[in-house]
């Protein structure tokens, strides 16, 4: 069951609070980003938790669904929330995100687009970022400020 889709049946486009996970995948100090089909901007792999799922399980599921990669372990880096993580989708859906940011470690698998949510997957350095989705922009700024991405 897709929890968000089910809730949207009742509340329409009204703002809702969601909890989810975003996954940092680094390769030679370059960050993996996905070109989002919904906004046509670049974001960081991740998504909302389903009912009964831990945030680490969400991170693992979203990473696999969006990139075909599997992480042996995850390291929790930070939790983001508040007004800065409000987002309005092109279809009018509004949400406030609580985002657990994880660093994927011991990664295996062949990188490829595996769902309809992404158009492309690429690695970018901190100073060569493409047009970013607003939440990704804030997370990447945090990564730079904390010397996780240099």
User: Bridge-partner residues for 118, per DSSP?
Assistant: 36
Hey, which residues does 121 pair with through a beta bridge? 34
pLDDT for 1 beyond 80: no
pLDDT per residue as tens digits for the range 23-41: 999 999 999 999 999 999 9
Spatial separation of the C-alpha atoms in residues 143 and 145, rounded to whole Å: 6
Angstrom distance (rounded) from CA 147 to CA 150: 6
CA atoms within 13 A on the CB side of 87: 21
Residue 34 in tokens: 């996905």
- Sketch out the chain's domains with CATH numbers: 3-145 (3.90.79.10)
Q: What pTM value is reported for the model?
A: 0.95
% of the chain surpassing 70 pLDDT: 99
CB within 8 Å of 140: residues ≥ 6 apart: 31, 44, 126, 129, 132, 149
Residue 10 tokens read as 């009742």
pLDDT tens-digit map of 107-134: 999 999 998 889 999 999 999 999 999 9
Q: How much is the pLDDT for 116?
A: 86
- For position 115, what pLDDT does the model report? 85
Give the tens place of pLDDT for each residue, 29-85: 999 999 999 999 999 999 999 999 999 999 999 999 999 999 999 999 999 999 999
């Amino acid at each position: 069951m897709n929890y968000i889709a089910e809730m949207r049946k009742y509340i329409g486009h009204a703002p809702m609070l969601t909890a989810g996970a975003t996954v940092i995948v680094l390769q030679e100090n370059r960050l993996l980003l996905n070109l989002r089909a919904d906004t046509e901007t670049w974001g960081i792999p991740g998504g909302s938790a389903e009912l009964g799922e831990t945030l680490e399980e969400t991170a693992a599921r979203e990473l696999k669904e969006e990139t075909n990669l599997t992480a042996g372990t995850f390291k929790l880096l930070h939790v983001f929330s508040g007004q800065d993580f409000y987002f309005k989708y092109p279809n009018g859906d509004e949400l406030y995100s609580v985002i657990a940011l994880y660093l994927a470690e011991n990664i295996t698998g062949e990188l490829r687009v595996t769902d309809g949510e992404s158009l492309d997957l690429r690695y970018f350095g901190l100073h060569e970022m493409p047009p970013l989705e607003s939440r990704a922009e804030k997370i990447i700024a945090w990564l730079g400020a904390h010397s996780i991405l240099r």
